[in-house]
């Protein structure tokens, strides 16, 4: 299949009404943090058991169209010996892969960060593709402080995302472009909106320079919210209105889907905000959906506790959150749905 046809087939499968993407790409240090509160040791076998639980949860294919995996997961198998990427593919869920190598300080730009991993990316993508991956994800991070992100920080991160996306498309891999303006701090909703707009405008300028086909990307941005330390927190309707206004100013209609990250929001907040966008703004040109990690997995971990006898309950917890976010993608979520079936 030609590269363009491959990209088109993948994006069609990833972008479906009522469905979103599960982010299960936690690095080893991050998954250790997730496991610590439930007393589960962070070993390769426990990572495998947990992700096998997620990927095999009955019914999630009705609400999940793709899963972002960590590199370790591509080589692991379910209890019956089926490779985990194949477990997903057999259910019509597209396997994906996190390809960045983490972040560090941007030289001579205090307070700004940059993500590593472009060296050898094309070769790594070929290997990941052979193991079942059809899309990739790369995250750039922007902290809001008095002088950050700086103009240099914004332009350097945009360049990295665009170079990554171009390499992916050249290999027939759909890129998820993830610019995350962090919730850490006491900044206002308006400050987050201003920074998010500057970040997204720079990214689409860079994508254009690098000849990236916007029809074959997924944008994974933050919702526009006040910092966690801000005294005034906006409700779902205000978050939805502000976020959509920024997107309309920055994101071309050619982009097929915007799958938000949850970024520290609670599972209910993330669902309510997504619903408010879809219920309040049904005529936007993109699918507005989800690509949540913690906001899908937090109830799963609490139900699982690392015990085999809790696997079915943990899978039900995942299905519930996936179903509620599927409803939010259609603008049909209601708060009373949280207690249904309990």
Question: Distance between CA atoms of 301 and 181, rounded to whole angstroms?
Answer: 26
β-strands 103-105, 113-115 pairing: antiparallel
How far is residue 193 from each of residues 11, 65, 209, 223, 284, measured CA to CA in Å?
Answer: 28, 29, 24, 9, 18
**Residues near 263 by Cβ (< 8 Å), separated by ≥ 6?**
180, 182, 183, 222, 223, 225
The encoded tokens of residue 140 equal 């750039």
H/E stretch holding 290 reads strand 287-292
Pick the closest to residue 156 from 194, 212, 213, 118 (CA basis): 118
How many residues are recorded in the chain?
Answer: 342
Q: Are 98 and 137 in contact (CB under 8 A)?
A: yes
The encoded tokens of residue 57 equal 């949860």
Q: Are 265 and 257 in contact (CB under 8 A)?
A: no
Helices 267-280, 294-304: axis angle to 10 degrees equals 140
220, 232, 309, 342: the catalytic one is 220
26, 178, 180, 320: the catalytic one is 178
101 annotated active-site? no
The burial of 8, by beta-carbon neighbours within 10 Å (0-12 exposed, 13-18 middle, 19 or more buried), is given as: middle
Question: Distance between CA atoms of 11 and 15, rounded to whole angstroms?
Answer: 6
220 annotated active-site? yes
The encoded tokens of residue 282 equal 């049904």
**Catalytic residue set:** 178, 220
């Amino acid at each position: 299949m030609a590269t363009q046809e491959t990209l088109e087939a993948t994006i069609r499968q990833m972008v479906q009404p009522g469905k979103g993407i599960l982010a299960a790409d936690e690095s080893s240090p991050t998954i250790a943090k997730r496991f610590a509160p439930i007393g589960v040791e962070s070993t390769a076998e426990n990572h495998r058991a947990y992700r096998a639980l997620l990927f095999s949860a009955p019914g999630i294919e009705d609400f999940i169209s793709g899963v972002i995996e960590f590199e370790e997961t591509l080589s692991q198998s379910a209890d019956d010996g089926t490779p985990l990427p194949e477990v997903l593919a057999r259910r019509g869920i597209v396997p994906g892969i996190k390809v960045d190598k983490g972040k560090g300080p941007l030289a001579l730009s205090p307070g700004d960060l940059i993500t590593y991993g472009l060296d050898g990316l094309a070769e790594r993508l070929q290997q990941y593709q052979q193991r079942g991956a059809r899309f990739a994800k790369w995250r750039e991070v922007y902290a809001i402080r008095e002088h950050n992100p700086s103009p240099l920080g914004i332009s350097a991160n945009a360049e990295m995302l665009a170079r990554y996306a171009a390499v992916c498309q050249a290999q027939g891999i759909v890129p998820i472009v993830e610019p995350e303006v962090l919730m850490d701090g006491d900044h206002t909703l308006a400050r987050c909106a201003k920074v998010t707009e500057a970040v997204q405008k720079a990214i689409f300028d860079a994508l254009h320079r690098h000849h990236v086909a916007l029809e074959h990307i997924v944008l994974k941005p933050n919702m526009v919210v006040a910092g966690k330390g801000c005294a005034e927190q906006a409700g779902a309707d205000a978050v939805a209105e502000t976020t959509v206004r920024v997107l309309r100013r920055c994101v071309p209609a050619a982009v097929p889907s915007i799958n938000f990250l949850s970024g520290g929001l609670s599972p209910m907040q993330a669902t309510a905000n997504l619903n408010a966008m879809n219920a309040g703004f049904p005529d936007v040109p993109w699918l507005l959906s989800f690509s949540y990690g913690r906001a899908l997995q937090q109830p799963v971990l609490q139900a699982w506790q690392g015990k085999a006898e809790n696997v079915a309950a943990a899978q039900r917890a995942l299905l519930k959150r996936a179903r509620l976010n599927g409803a939010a993608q259609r603008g049909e979520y209601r708060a009373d749905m949280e207690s249904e079936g309990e």
